[in-house]
Amino acid sequence: MTNAYDKLYLEKARVSLGRMLDFAVNQLDYDADDFFRRFIASGIATRFEHGDSSTIAGKSGIETAYAVIEYTLTQNSELNEALQIEIDHRVDRSPLYWAGWALAYYQWSTCLKFQQIIDRISVSEIVKMYHPYHEMDIRQFCDHMDTLYRDRKTG
């Protein structure tokens, strides 16, 4: 199977997706599942899946979160409110960060679309996998995701 982009960009993509999710939920108070659906609706997820360098390596996770909000505005003040939040440049990694980081790897390794993945396994469910999978090799997380994905096949 050929991946959408070179492995050299993978870690940057993982960090970006992890930081986007962590920032959107922990600092901007979005629901993880809702924000990820907005990420998909914005079209940024598609560019991410195809290895668009401006998306996977050209923006920080925080910039990506702002872009998602801008593309999916539900009210005019929404972006302005988000821009007013003082950014906490954390060094610790939350379960949300890990979920985005791990999900980026899973998407890259399987070549599935993010929509296909979350149709069967929600982001909030992935966050709950933090214990014990954050201490394991990422391939064990992927094996577990593969099992869940296969077991939840739809008609």
Residue 1 is assigned to a structural domain of this protein: no
Tell whether 57 is covered by a domain.
yes
The count of structural domains within the chain is: 1
Higher-confidence residue: 113 or 88? Answer: 113
Asked if the structure places residue 58 within a domain, the reply is yes
Within a domain: 98: yes
Closest CA to 1 of 110, 140, 113: 110
Q: Is residue 16 part of a domain?
A: yes
Share of the chain above pLDDT 70, in %: 86
HEC-encoded secondary structure of 89-130: CCCCCCHHHHHHHHHHHHHHHHCCCHHHHHHHCCHHHHHHCH
The pLDDT of residue 43 is above 70:
yes
Which pLDDT score, from 0 to 100, does residue 7 have?
92
Whether 9 and 53 have beta carbons less than 8 Å apart is answered as yes
What tens digit of pLDDT does each residue of 20-34 get? 999 999 999 999 999
Res. 124: pLDDT tops 90: yes
Q: What is the mean pLDDT of residues 136-145?
A: 97
Tell me, yes or no, whether 106 lies in a domain.
yes
Does residue 2 belong to any structural domain of this protein? no
Q: Which residue has the higher pLDDT, 149 or 1?
A: 149
pLDDT for the residue 3: 85
Q: Is the pLDDT of residue 112 over 70?
A: yes
Residue with tokens 């679309």: 113
Q: Which domain holds residue 67?
A: 7-151
DSSP string, 31-67: -HHHHHHHHHHTTHHHHHHTT-HHHHTSS-HHHHHHH
Q: What's the pLDDT score for residue 4?
A: 80
Domain-embedded: residue 54: yes
| Segment 52-57 mean pLDDT | 90
